[in-house]
Amino acid sequence: MKVAVPVLAPILRSDTQGRLLAAILAAPEEEHTITALAARAGTSVPTAIREIDRAEDAQLVITRRLGNTRLVKANPANPLYEPYRDIIMATYGPPAVIGEELAPVKGIDYLYLFGSWAARYQGEPGRAPNDIDVLVVGAPDRDQVYEAAERAERRLGLPVQATIRTPAQWDDAADPFITEIRSRPLVSLRSEGIL
């Protein structure tokens, strides 16, 4: 089966590879199980194992065994670690980073990425995104949301634009902004296994 070339980063083998590496590189000091990584990337465990094996052969990650569990961690000692991390975080990192930064904020019912970044992430061709649009649905503290967006922006190296809507606004089919967002690609951080 031929895998489509990733729209976000055509230098990668697949979107799965990008999503797995993003989960690892977003938290380089943490160890991850392959099962958890597969769930985050929306792939099977055997596929995740193959991709992790390739990343380990390239010395981008380090693995170790703890009983029957194989733990995976980034390898910052690799001379190509920083440039590779920059590419992965700019292309596949937003769900991991934005989800991590917004996870502690109370009052978020739904969290979506939308706009050009979400379209590229879902395979729609077009220009490389120059920002990341985030839709927060709920009743969170606005200052906390904007501070989290600023932290994510610093980590990703791309502007992060957070928009907050109440659940009633999200359910309003007559709202032109919501209608437009719902008609275009959305990346739900809940379905990505982030929240």
The CATH classification number of 15-92 equals 1.10.10.10
pTM: 0.74
Contact 27, 89 (CB under 8 A): no
For 40-62, write each residue's pLDDT tens digit: 888 999 999 999 999 999 899 99
Query: Measured at the alpha carbon of residue 66, what is the angle toward residues 25 and 78, in degrees to the nearest 5?
Result: 35
CATH of 95-188, one of 3.40.50.2300, 3.40.47.10, 3.30.460.10, 3.40.50.300: 3.30.460.10
Residue ranges per domain, the chain? 15-92, 95-188
User: What's the pLDDT tens digit per position in 168-186?
Assistant: 999 998 999 999 999 999 9
Q: Are 111 and 188 in contact (CB under 8 A)?
A: yes
Q: In the structure encoding, which two tokens stand for residue 137, read together?
A: 């649905």
Q: Give the strand pairing for 32-33 and 69-74.
A: antiparallel
Residues 34 and 72: their CA atoms lie apart, in Å, by 7
